[in-house]
Amino acid sequence: MRFFPELMKLNDGTPVDTPQKMELRKKEILEIFQKYAYGDMPAPVPVTGKILEETGRCCSGTAVYYKIEITCDFGNGRHFSYPVQLIVPEKAGKKPLLLCVNFDDAIPHEYIPSEEVVDNAFALAVLYFKDVTNDDPDFTDKLAAFYPRTGSGHDPAKISLWAWSASRALDYLLTRDDIDEGHVGVIGHSRLGKTALWCAANDIRFRYVCSNDSGCMGAAYARSWVEGAESTASIAKVFPYWFCENFQAVANDPAAMPFDQHMLLAAIAPRYLLVNSASKDAWAGPASEQDACVGASPAWQVYERKTGYQGKSTYYDANEGNIKGELGYYKRYGVHFLGRKDWLNFMEFINNHY
Ligand code: GTR
């Protein structure tokens, strides 16, 4: 029997058996992940958005495409800007929004079936992560330059910076009168699935979140690591800059880590989280992702009428899962990829709870 850090107890040992105590627990959990995993989540700064391009020739003319420049104001004349692309279905009224942090600025893209999203009546915003800060150890580039390293051990790492930029894009998007501010989701794949989870854990305006094949330091338990999957020791070595310096001290010994990933998932309760895995994606540890859903579920159950994870505790086969509860899990057939089926699942999951 493995030892998992206790989810349903406050740091001082008080059992978490009410929504009020869960709210306190979530604050503690965010602090733990800031200190030992992703680094600090910077405070918001004022944001403006400027429309650079606009065209109605999008998705066969059923949607309007906007290219928007998001500008973050750091005071004293210091600004940082990055583009966000937005596609809004043509129909009148406010639309639910899915914000995707992606690996490319092209849309449509093999990971973003934009026409499918629009056909399902969702608006779609796309943020290209390298426009915010490069995927490398350089902390002097772009947004990273505004957070010089202090040596604290928990300076904002790249995952925190990408997650923060998604929240700032949302600051602008919520000022628009065509977006339904009560129905906004964030989705990301792989390293950007880790980013989506961390973003939603910190930003309760994201009512829905989908982590796709997020794996190690995403939705997968570190302690139920299996041969063939990525380990925390490996990720800390290969991608140290995704995490804060303190992570290096704990990553080699998961048993001693002050967290595991069920706690990250729980920080999203009682909102709506879909964990997507893929059957041929052993590196992301589908079984450990499903295990973490089981482990996180009690966080939902302290809230009235919330059930959390309603799926099985034995492992799903390909193209199986359960997306009925507020915490859904689905294992798609296929490889490490963010595909049409993953998006359709996310939209179906949202519609189950809309
Ligand atoms: C892998 C990495 C994973 C995953 C993936 C990706 O190389 O080991 O943690 O995030 O990259 O982002 O595609």
What is the per-residue pLDDT across 92-132, written as a single tens digit (0 to 9) for each? 899 999 999 999 999 999 999 999 999 999 999 999 999 99
Q: How large is the average pLDDT for residues 133-153?
A: 98
**What separation in Å is there between the alpha carbon of 194 and the centre of ligand 1?**
10
Beta-ladder partners of 173: none
Question: How many beta carbons lie within 10 A of that of residue 6, not counting itself?
Answer: 13
37: DSSP letter: I
pTM of the model: 0.98
**What separation in Å is there between the alpha carbon of 311 and the centre of ligand 1?**
26
Task: State the pLDDT at residue 2.
Answer: 64
Ligand 1, pocket-test mutation among 162, 191, 214, most atoms within 8 A of CB: 191
The position carrying tokens 């915003």 is: 125
Mean pLDDT, the chain, rounded, equals 97
Handedness of CA 79, 191, 256, 315 (dihedral sign): positive
Task: State the pLDDT at residue 1.
Answer: 46
Over the stretch 24-57, which tens digit does the pLDDT of each residue have?
999 999 999 999 999 999 999 999 999 999 999 9
Ligand 1 within 6 A of CB of 189 = no
Q: Residues near 161 by Cβ (< 8 Å), separated by ≥ 6?
A: 42, 132, 133, 143, 144, 147
Over the stretch 279-307, which tens digit does the pLDDT of each residue have?
999 999 999 999 999 999 999 999 999 99
Task: State the pLDDT at residue 3.
Answer: 79
Ligand 1 within 6 A of CB of 213 = no
